Structure 1
Amino acid sequence: ISNCHLSLPTARTRQVMGEFGHVYEQQYAVALFNSVRFEIEGGGGPQSQLLHRKNPLEDRSIFSGGLFQYLEENKRWRNRFVFVADTYNISFYENKVAHERSLHPKGTINCAGYKALTSMEEYLELINTSLPGIKAKVGSGPFVKCATQFPLILWHPYARHHYFCVLTEKEQKKWHAVLQDCVRHSNNGLSEECRVQTPAFTDAMRLHRQAQGHYGTWDMMCGGPPQILANLVMETLHPELRNLIGPRLKGKIQQRQRNWMLISEAVYKQVLSQTQAQYEALVQTCEVEISRLDAVLRTDMDQIITSKEHVSGKIRALVLPRAEQLLRGSVQPFLSSILEALMEPTSRGFSEVRDVFFRELVEVSKNTLNGGGKDKLGEHMEKISMLAFHPVKMQSCYEKVEQLNLEGLQQRFDVSSPSVFIQRAQILMREQMDNAVYTFEHLLHQSLEGKVQGGEDLCKTIHCCQDRVLKKYDYDSSTVRKKFFREAVLQIIIPYMLKQLSPSFHLVRLTEYMHYIGTGVPLGTLPMLSDLPRFQELIFEDFSQFILVENVFEEVVLQSVTKDIMMAVKEAAVQKKHNLYRDSMILTNSDPNLHLLGENPSVDWATQYRGGNEEPEGALGGGGQSSRRRRQVVSMIQLDEMGPLPYESCLEVPGVDFIPEEGEMEEVEVKAQEPKEQETPTEPDPPKEPDSSDSVQEIRYHSKPVVEMMVSASEEDLAVLTNGTGTLEDWKEEEVTLITTVVEEMHRKSPQWMSAPQEVNEQLVETGSPDQEAEGGLQEKGEAAIEGKGEEDEAAIKNAIQEIEIAVQEEDGERITECAVDSDSEPGDTALHE
């Protein structure tokens, strides 16, 4: 890659940030004016009937467990402990012990802009379009060979892709739901609590893209401001670099795709670091002016509002006739179709939320009626309190909304995809579920406080609180849905109308027309521009930074369609199939003191109703964020008819012999055709850790005397096992450098080993019978290891030495530590070193 290509990202970032920064500074003053005006005048919609929880995930984590992760550095699969915190960032560690000790993670993924995939076919469809003019042949595989048939892939158009896999379909579904929730949360948009920065950023981003000719929704408007700005830069930079660098890439198609993805990742990292620094400097520059601007606003607010209304009237007289003509001819005929496409799946989703909430409470009532009492009630309420943030239980609700389809309307109204509306509806569903659960918790806790009730009375109390909450949910969900429909229709229609009206009025960037003043160009010769300078002259110079003609024009267009949209939503509310309340129906507040309960802290059901001594299932360390143990929302994965699994999900990394890499396919096919001896042992020995060509321990087996101790241990003995360093004294004469303690646990076997006896036989540790005494087995293993040293093939030793040098460079001394059993770790974890 030439120096010109390397400097192009920096130059393009500087250009885009310069253009965006000019618009942002203008919109920052406008947003500050709107914020102060709202503070003075007040306003807002109808009051919510349900309570709202401020910090629902306090002292919680979403999920954790083991996954196979593909490491692109050495093209190998490794077992990683994955932890999803309350921030929905995905962190992966070397193992569970590293996480519990609050060590730094191996990596962290911010899921903004990603897509969670569950098949290689979906992934191939996306990466085959990454390079222009290059299409993979039918049946050709990707450059990543999945270790199992249950992959999990995080795909991003610019950033690094992440590859995971699991052993069972059940694990795949649960992990996929968790990953989708992480993506959904990260794409939720900017915080509405920032009443100045957020509207200033979103308006500046919209106006900047409109100036470039891009109207309508944008799928990459996700993540924080630096990420969105990096996506904005990459929107034009990525295709340009692809056309410049793509033809120069050499090798097979898979290798070219891989190299291009590495280049794209490096460029995106560079752009993201630059947008981060430049955006922070831009915000700091604007915040310096806040005190001065705020003083002007609070002093002259009445005059500013009067001036703006005067300018709005002039622009409305000019724009409204053309806007109404466009509305009647091109928008009104499609309003009902747009609303129908939005309402059907959204209403089914909110109805499913209600059903899931109802079913969970019915289960609580059943268990309480069967003699569970308050102790059992506390256990069930502890789980229900996090129902909204349980991605697996909420999956049926989310799937209803995913059926939203705007086909036929997308092309006409320039809607890139319905994903923006789907994710927004899903976030609203989660909020309503949490509000319902939180309100039910407080009502039930208030009813039970200081009272002793039996099973039937307790069940009646639950039903009473349940009915009150469902009524409030019906009202609030109707209000939230109608607001969502209005906003979604505006997001579809307004960009379309602006795109049609802007060429007529040349109002894409009104502020730029001020450059014509004083240039000698007759303004009357410019079409439709004779009144624009007069509009700007109507605004006092001191108020010009708070009133922009460009914003006023958009507000006029917005006002022209708002009335029709409101009427369309009201007509839809009459239809029973949508389950919407009419606006004339006002729910009387039967709980006047209910909102006072929202000021109370969340109910700790585990402490108050179960004594607080039991450790909740899935309790984990804080991942370096807190020394307190967090309660996990999603329960650990347990395979059917299996005991608790080490690393909570996966057993061992599959041997690399089962994962052929690129260029090795032909060798694998030849080996597959060779006949193999079939062995069917009645009781297979416990498998050792899978062989790997880059394993430090394997090379030591080839080059040094190795002693393996077969010790029959019960579960009580597992807790007191040590790393066996005390036995070194007895083997000094043999120069033993490694002692491995292998503990038999026949009830914990991976389904992978059970389903492939031929592969198991190739990797089983050659030990004696399980009933053999430890002393005799120890002596035989030592003699076998010493005799085997002289019989090793020279070629195998040379290859092993070359591979160990690579392994030592990659993971330094970490694997040496992993070869011994850590005396501080849990027994279940010691059998899972890579």
Structure 2
Amino acid sequence: MGDVVSSHLDEGRREMITARTRDAMKEFGDVYEQQYAVALFNSVRYEIEGGGGTQSQLLHRKDPLAGRSIFSGNLFQYLEENRKWRNRFVSVPNSYNINLYESKTAHDRGLHPKVTINCAGYKALASMEEYMELINNSLPGIKAKVGNHPFIKCATQFPLILWHPYAHHHYFCVMTEKEHKKWHAVLQDCVRHSNNAGLSEDCTVQTPAFTDSVRLHRQAKGHYGTWDMMCGEPPQILANLVMETLHPELRNVIGPRLKGKLQQRQRNWMLISDAVYKQVLSQTTGQYEALVEACEAQKSPLDARLRTDMDQIITSKEHVNSKIRALVLPKAEQLLRTSVQPYISSILEALMEPTSRGFSEVRDVFFRELVEISKNSINGGGKDKLGEHMERLSMLAFHPVKMQSCYEKVEELNLEGLQQRFDVSNPSVFISRAQILMREQMDNAVYTFEQLLNQSLEAQGEENMVKTIQRCQDRVLKKYDYDSSTVRKKFFREALLQIIIPYMLQQLSPSCSPELPRFKELIFEDFSRFLLVENMFEEVVLQSVTKDIMMAVKEAAVQRRHNLYRDSIILTNSDPNLHLLGETPGVDWAAKFGGEEPDGSVEAEERGSGRRRKQVVSMIQLDGFTLPYESCLEVPGVELIPEEDAEACKEEDQEDEEEEELGLHEDPKSPDSVNEIRDLINPVVEVVLPVTEEGKSDVTNGTEQTGGTIVMEDGVQEEVTHVTTVVDDRPRKSLRDKTSPQTILKQLVGSKKQEVDKEEAAIKNAIEEIEIAVREDDGERVAEEPAAESDGESSPPPVPHSRSRDDSGFQSPTNEGPDDGELQPITNGLNGADKVVDPAEVEVILA
């Protein structure tokens, strides 16, 4: 594969890519330096003048994922170098990067992962059909046939694919549908978080400077409207910015030169695209860091000048704004009346319907979790159970599987018919933003409930727990309803501006932009770094449409169709005591109530530190379970992946115990099991009973419990506890019945009786010979008639055949067999007690 990349990306072409990236970064850098000063001016002005706005009713957690990891488990990864599947242990820490390890042992030992995936810009696909639809559009001028097969053969029917328009693709698969849903939700959450984690809203200078610079840079290239590759860290976004124009050019040049079948050409182009992206990303990373460092070095003198001349700068800006407004406002209002106002309500309705359903689902999920906690209290679950429930609740917002139903509501957002008119490339920008806001609101509600409940428990104790939970629940839900309304209205306004403003700028720029340079003469040179006519032109356009957008959102709130509060309802500082709780640290519920680690928070040790991290999502993996596939794989069997089911664990343990009882483990072991120890303490009597082919089906291997005693040959009574049956395939004489321990005992007594009869008969014959000899010699002795001749057989208590019997096969003459016709009772008491047990109830361990 390296030959394919090197042959199409020779030294000359790599130098061309380097030059194009350097030129793009130079253009972006010039814009960024200008926008950095403007953003600093806006930040200082906001700090001095203060900003209004409604206050959030819910508390905000500062670092919700501290000491947490998201998920870990086993996946099968496709290795492109040998086109095989390999089992990998995957860990998702709180950074949401995906770390792939050779095995769980490597992860636990703190070794570096073999692969680390930053999911910014990716899409998490759950089927090969989705993937092939994207792949078949990767090369121009090539139309793939319907049902065209991919260049990889998935090992199972549950694939998971991370697709990127420029970077390397990653292929995984799992064994069960349950795993598939859970892993897909986790991967989607990794993508969602990585896409939105690069630009922090807390950076009041760098973030607006960067976003405005990217937007202005794209507008200079003729790209207005939303951009769905505004994903990840700034260097990644800049790499996407360069690739936006470079990638199509290289594809048109290199694509026709690729050789081989369609699948091979697609694969080769992906390798080439990934190599180009890596080269561009390495350049943008270094150059952006240098650019930010240079701007930060000038921040202090610029800040000092701003604070000194703030009044004069504001006055100068208002004067220039009035001049630009006189030029732009008539044209903007005309465009607004004819091409924008008729569509505002339609855009707003398309945004509101799925977004409101999503926020309503957040409320329902939160409410259901609180109901479970109340049920636990009613049923007397105790403090340990309450601690477990609260531990799970604390991470509810970051549980991708539990939040999936909320996210799916927003994914129904559809701007079809409006995208072409307003140049909205993809609604994913708004979907992702709404989902992030939903997660924030869920965490705020959970954190507020935690603080209120903890405060109530400390003040009132644990009596009337259900009422305490109910009061805290009602209080939090009211605050959530208000904050949810506020957040949604702000989201709707921002989304409408993101859709409408680029369209208006695109329509007004041809006529207004040539007039803007003359306004620069009205700005003092000392203030020229903070006042840019391009920014003031956009502000005028923004002001022209803001009134209509605000009215549309206000009318929607008055209708109350989507549970929006009216703007007249303001709850500022309605609960000042609550916000004092926001300064207190989070509650460690497991430590507070002494509860064990809940099922949804499996602990995994963090590499490089002594801390232990709690996992948000439970693993689908049994403790100690090791997949046999530690090397490259063929298609694995479904039965090799364990399910997340405690019953399955119990059944497996029971099977192991049964195997130990039956002696199926061939390797010698120490007597660890109960059965082995019992065998050492209690004597074991071995008796082989024949079974015919007809009766073999009625006899099965197994052990049954019973009660009784048996007299050993040394006269000691031993208690019988178990009878174990082992079936031998060798042909034996048939038994009439061998389906119960009672029948086994009867056979045991009968066979023992026959052996005793033979021994007794031999003894009798010897006695007779001695008596005859005595009569012949003395003639005085009278032969006795043996009792056996008249009665048949004597019947003393039976003694089983033991391991310590004499090698000759004979036993003492006193051990006479029982009578054939009747089973004699056997004593079952301790120390020779007279307790009598029916012999049919006595059972013997058969090994």
Please report the TM-score for the alignment, with normalisation by the length of structure 2: 0.73
Alignment of 1:255-654 (within 5 A): 255-449=264-458, 451-454=460-463, 457-505=464-512, 507=513, 529=515, 532-587=516-571, 591-610=575-594, 617-624=601-608, 626-637=609-620, 644=623, 646=625, 652=629
Given the alignment, which residue of 118, 124, 139 partners 1:116? 124
User: 1:535: how far off?
Assistant: 1.3
Partner of 1:166: 174
Q: Once the two structures are superposed, what CA deviation does each residue of 1:282-336 show, in whole Å capped at 9, x if it has no partner?
A: 1111112112211110110100000000000000011000000000110000010
The change in CA–CA distance for 1:73 and 1:320 in structure 2 (over 3 A counts) is same
Aligned 1:671-682 pairs, distance under 5 A: none
Counterpart contact for 2:87–2:631, Cα < 8 Å: no
- Alignment of 1:148 with 2:156, yes or no, is yes
Matched residue of 2:542: which SS? Answer: helix
Q: Which amino acid aligns with 2:248?
A: P
Q: Which residue of 1 aligns with 2:51?
A: 43
Which amino acid counterpart does residue 429 of structure 1 have in structure 2?
M
For residues 312-363 of structure 1, give each alpha carbon's deviation from its aligned partner in whole angstroms, at most 9, with x where no partner exists.
0000011000000000110000010000000000000000000000000001
Query: Which piece of structure 1 moves more, 465-474 or 65-74?
Result: 65-74
Identity of aligned residues (%): 77
Between the aligned partners of 2:214 and 2:296, the Cα distance in structure 1 is: 19
Q: SS state of the match for residue 445, structure 1?
A: helix
Query: Does the residue aligned with 1:580 lie in a helix, a strand or coil?
Result: coil
* Matched residue, 1:5: 13
Q: Give the superposition deviation at 1:646.
A: 2.3
Q: Is the 8 A contact 1:364 1:377 kept in 2?
A: yes
Task: Report Cα offsets for 1:138-180 as digits up to 9, x if no partner.
Answer: 3331111111000000000001100000000110000000000
Partner of 1:813: none
CA spacing shift, 1:607–1:237, aligned 2, 3 Å? same
Query: Structure 1 counterpart of 2:569, which letter?
Result: M
Alignment check: 8 A CA contact 2:601 2:616 kept: no
CA–CA distance in 2 between the matches of 1:184 and 1:613? 28
Q: Which residue of 2 aligns with 1:57?
A: 65
The 1-side partners of 2:488 and 2:595 are apart by: 41
Rg comparison, structure with higher value = 2
**Cα distance in structure 2, aligned partners of 1:102 and 1:355:** 40
How big is the shift at 1:592?
2.4
**C-alpha distance 295-616 of structure 1, shift in aligned 2 (>3 A):** same
Q: Provide the C-alpha distance between the structure 1 equivalents of 2:263 and 2:111, rounded to a whole number of angstroms.
A: 36
> 1:492: how far off?
0.2
Secondary structure of 2:57's aligned partner:
coil
Contact 2:517–2:533 (Cα < 8 Å) also in 1: no
Instruction: Please give the secondary structure, in 2, of the residue aligned with 1:226.
Output: helix
Equivalent residue for 1:104? 112
2:136–2:143 Cα contact (<8 Å) kept:
yes
The amino acid across from 1:492 in the alignment is I
In the alignment, the residues of structure 2 paired with residue 713 and residue 149 of structure 1 have an alpha-carbon distance, to the nearest angstrom, of 42
Taking structure 1 as reference, are residues 54 and 553 closer, same or farther at Cα in structure 2, changes over 3 Å only?
same
Q: Counterparts in 2 of 1:121-200, with a 5 A limit? A: 121-188=129-196, 190-200=199-209
Q: Structure 1, unaligned stretches of length 5 or more?
A: 508-527, 660-684, 687-708, 718-769, 773-834
* Cα deviations by residue, 1:442-462 (Å, 9 ceiling, x for unpaired): 0000000164434xx101100
Shift of 1:714: 10
- 1:570-591, CA deviations, whole angstroms, 9 ceiling, x for partnerless residues? 0000122210000001237553
Q: Which residue pairs with 1:821 in the alignment?
A: none
Separation of aligned partners in 2, 1:71 and 1:9? 28
Pair 1:152–1:329, CA change in 2 (3 A): same
CA RMSD of aligned residues (A): 2.3
Residue 306 and residue 372 in structure 1: after superposition, are their counterparts in 2 closer, same or farther (change >3 A)? same
Alpha-carbon distance, 1:376 to partner: 1.4
Secondary structure at the counterpart of residue 322 of structure 1: helix
CA distance in 1, matches of 2:437, 2:531: 33
Which of 48, 67, 78 pairs up with 1:70?
78
The residue identity in structure 1 corresponding to 2:577 is N
Q: Is this contact kept in 1: 2:493–2:550, CA < 8 A?
A: yes
Give TM-score scaled by structure 1 length: 0.74
1:31 and 1:199 in contact (8 A); partners too: yes
| 1:101 positional shift | 1.2
- 1:341–1:404 contact (8 Å) kept in structure 2: yes
- Corresponding residue SS for 2:523: coil
For the Cα contact (< 8 Å) 2:166–2:274, is it kept in 1?
yes
CA deviation after TM superposition for structure 1 residue 133, in Å:
1.6
Cα deviation, 1:629-656, whole Å, max 9, x if unaligned, reads: 1000011126xxxx65726xx6647984
Tell me how far apart the structure 1 counterparts of residues 193 and 587 of structure 2 sit (CA, whole Å). Answer: 25
**Counterpart amino acid of residue 404 in structure 2:** Q
- For residue 143 of structure 1, give the secondary structure of its aligned residue in structure 2: coil
Name the amino acid aligned to 2:403: M
The answer (yes or no) to whether the contact 2:55–2:572 under 8 Å persists in 1 is no
1:711 corresponds in structure 2 to: 667
Distance 2:343 2:559 in 1: 18
After TM superposition, the structure 1 stretch with the greater mean CA deviation from structure 2, 6-15 or 118-127, is 6-15
CA distance in 1, matches of 2:73, 2:727: 34
Letter aligned with residue 436 of structure 1:
A
Task: Indicate how the Cα distance of structure 1 residues 267 and 714 shifts in structure 2: closer, same or farther if over 3 A, else same.
Answer: farther
> Which residue of the partner structure matches residue 668 of structure 1?
none
| Distance 1:347-1:654 versus aligned 2 partners, 3 A rule | farther
Bigger CA drift: 285-294 or 406-415?
Answer: 285-294
Residues 386-412 of structure 1 show CA distances to partners (whole Å, capped at 9, x for unaligned) of 000000000000000000000000000
Q: How far is 1:94 from its partner?
A: 0.7
The amino acid across from 1:314 in the alignment is K
1:117 aligned partner, one-letter code: L
Equivalence for 1:228: 237
Quickly say closer, same or farther: Cα 1:310–1:10, change in 2 above 3 A. Answer: same
The amino acid across from 1:563 in the alignment is: K
1:671 matched to which residue of 2? none
Q: Within 2, Cα distance between the matches of 1:243 and 1:77?
A: 33
Unpaired runs of 5+ residues, structure 2, are 1-7, 637-654, 657-664, 674-725, 729-847
1:601 is aligned with what amino acid? P
Q: What is the CA distance between 1:378 and its match in structure 2?
A: 0.9
Counterpart check, 1:26 vs 2:34: yes
Indicate the SS of the match to 2:400.
coil
8 Å Cα contact 1:607/1:613 also seen in 2: no
The one-letter code of the counterpart of 1:177 is A
Q: How many Å apart are 1:486 and its aligned residue?
A: 0.2
What do the CA deviations read for 1:658-679 (whole angstroms, capped 9, x no partner)? 49xxxxxxxxxxxxxxxxxxxx
CA gap of 1:615–1:174, structure 2 versus 1, over 3 A, is closer
CA 611–568 in structure 1, closer or farther in 2 if over 3 Å, else same: closer
> Does the Cα contact within 8 Å between 1:24 and 1:204 map onto a contact in 2?
yes
Change (3 A) 1:628 1:538: same
Asked whether the equivalents of residues 388 and 598 of structure 2 are also in contact (C-alpha less than 8 Å), the reply is no
- The CA deviation string for residues 17-41 of structure 1, in whole angstroms up to 9 with x for no partner, is 0111111111111111111111111
Distance, in Å, in 2 between the alignment partners of 1:586 and 1:201 is: 34
AA in 2 matched with 1:565: I
